[in-house]
């Protein structure tokens, strides 16, 4: 099996596990963005958020909700950025869904997720209506 996060879940690769439930696992990121940077993964292999069945999606967010205050307390963080790089074009490097829980500190200068996006589109009300309708109408 080549997926590194599946191998971590299976215990074939070492990890600094910080939280575990029946369907989710949380462990420290090997290359932390800040101290305490933690990853939360479903134990089963799903590549992207949209691939998660409802039980796994629930289990992952339950684990995120449980682990985030623990991470904040452990490293005395003021906040956390909780984020997913969902798909290769969004920067996902490990193709096993994972939620980043990144501790944040007053004045750390790293900014909000909004800072990732330099050129915002200017959309009319009609265009926004069309986009909302298009999203509603997709059959999955
Ligand atoms: P992505 O870019 O896919 O959202 O993030 C992948 C994350 O996984 C990166 O932050 C990277 O540091 C982390 N990572 C990659 N390989 C390993 C590993 O073998 N062990 C752990 N604990 N983290 C890893
Ligand atoms: Zn996997």
Q: What is the strand order of the sheet 99-104 is part of? A: 17-20, 24-28, 38-42, 99-104, 79-83
Q: Quick one: which of 123, 81, 110, 102 has its CA closest to 35? A: 102
What's the CATH code of the domain at 81? 3.30.428.10
Distance between CA atoms of residues 86 and 92, nearest Å: 6
Q: Is 14 in the pocket of ligand 1 (CB under 6 A)?
A: no
Question: From the CB of 33, is ligand 1 less than 6 Å away?
Answer: no
Tell me what pLDDT residue 1 has: 65
Summarised one tens digit per residue, pLDDT across range 32-59 is 999 999 999 999 999 999 999 999 999 9
Task: Give the residue, out of 81, 91, 93, with the most ligand 1 atoms within 8 A of its beta carbon, to mutate for a pocket test.
Answer: 93
Mean pLDDT, residues 100-115? 97
Poorest-confidence range of 6-10, 103-107, 117-121? 117-121
Q: Stretch 22-41: mean pLDDT, rounded?
A: 98
Is the CB–ligand 1 distance for residue 93 below 6 Å? yes
Domain tally, the chain: 1
Domain span at 50? 4-137
């Amino acid at each position: 099996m080549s997926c590194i996060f599946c191998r971590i879940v299976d215990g074939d690769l070492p990890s600094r596990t910080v939280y575990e439930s029946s369907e989710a696992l949380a462990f420290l990121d090997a290359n932390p963005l800040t101290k305490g940077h933690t990853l939360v993964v479903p134990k089963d292999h799903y590549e992207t958020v949209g691939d998660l069945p409802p039980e796994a999606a629930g289990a992952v967010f339950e684990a995120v909700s449980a682990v985030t205050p623990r991470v904040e307390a452990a490293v005395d963080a003021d906040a956390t950025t909780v984020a997913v790089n969902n798909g290769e074009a969004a920067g996902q490097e490990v193709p096993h869904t994972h939620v980043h829980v990144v501790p944040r500190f007053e004045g750390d200068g790293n900014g909000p997720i909004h800072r990732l996006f330099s050129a915002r589109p200017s959309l009319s009300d009609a265009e926004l209506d069309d986009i909302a309708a298009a999203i509603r109408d997709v059959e999955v």
